[in-house]
Amino acid sequence: MEIFLHQLFAGVTSGAIYASFAVALVMVWRSTHHLNFAQGEMAMFSTYVALALIEAGLGYWSAFCLTILLSFVASMVLERMIVAPISKAHPLAAVIVFVALLSIFHSLASWLFTPVLREFPSPFPNGSLDGFPYLSWHATGVVALIVLELMAVWLFFRSTRLGLAMRAVAQNPDSSRLVGISAGRMLALGWGLAAALGAVAGMMIAPIIYLDPNMMAGVLLYGFAAALLGGIDNPWGAAAAGLIVGLLDALVGAWLIGPELKLSFALALIVGVLLVRPAGLFSRPTQTRV
């Protein structure tokens, strides 16, 4: 029972991180119809920036907020400079550009920040909650923070003018421009928000798995799996699927087949689901009348 609880909480924690990362991938997909393979490396790079800021003497939360801001701005610039110009190119050209970005951020991080495992601080207290020895403060904090973050994102898209404009551009860029929305700026904003979500995911997972340039490889894989499982067009489906993937991975690894095969098993299960529901678990069929 204790092992079960332990795995359950670990699964929820990593699931929350996969969820926020999957939402970032979906956000980029919805705005520019690209799968940003570099999203994970961008998040890893952001986490190194956060560590550099902390080592330079900033308090954790100041470094946290500044990192989010820097990631947001840098990603917007990246979208304007590199992604926007290739928007009319062949989709495969975009894939190559994103693989290149992945490799550039990876090498840059190794070069700038020596590629050894680094400890990354958690903003939450050490140890576990009283009476719940398997529920660490970090895990609880991560889940609470990500729930808050996703609620904020939801509110932003639901109830703000800017959020509405971003949804409009994601759906129909031409019509958006005809009502006067600068579609390019909204796409850049989407990239900025995705990088900010990625940075949070990076800073939350680093205390668990240590910081190194390969840190986000697993998160990227699980994030993609969650995004596809939930429906690449559906951020809330992706978030829910992130949680499912995290739980599945933890529980299957502990109970069914052991840690060696858990990744394969979790991914095989996802492929199985996608065979039955190709648009994802939570996809809503588009309703259109003509």
Q: Which residues in this chain contact other proteins in the complex, by CB under 8 A?
A: 161, 164-165, 167-168, 171-172, 174-183, 286-290
Q: Could you tell me the smallest distance in angstroms from the CB atom of residue 187 to other proteins? A: 13
Q: Could you tell me the smallest distance in angstroms from the CB atom of residue 32 to other proteins? A: 17
The rounded distance, in Å, linking the Cα atoms of 56 and 199 is 19
Element (DSSP H or E) covering residue 134: strand 132-136
- Of residues 118 and 177, the one with the C-beta less far from other proteins: 177
Residues 24, 216 contacting (CB under 8 angstroms): no
Residues 231, 281 contacting (CB under 8 angstroms): yes
Q: Could you tell me the smallest distance in angstroms from the CB atom of residue 175 to other proteins? A: 4
- Of residues 66 and 168, the one with the C-beta less far from other proteins: 168
Amino acid at 21: F
Cα–Cα nearest to 25, from 230, 166, 214, 249:
230
- Of residues 90 and 289, the one with the C-beta less far from other proteins: 289
- Of residues 126 and 288, the one with the C-beta less far from other proteins: 288
The rounded distance, in Å, linking the Cα atoms of 256 and 252 is 5
Q: Could you tell me the smallest distance in angstroms from the CB atom of residue 31 to other proteins? A: 14
Which position has the token pair 């990631």? 71
Q: Could you tell me the smallest distance in angstroms from the CB atom of residue 242 to other proteins? A: 22
- Of residues 14 and 176, the one with the C-beta less far from other proteins: 176
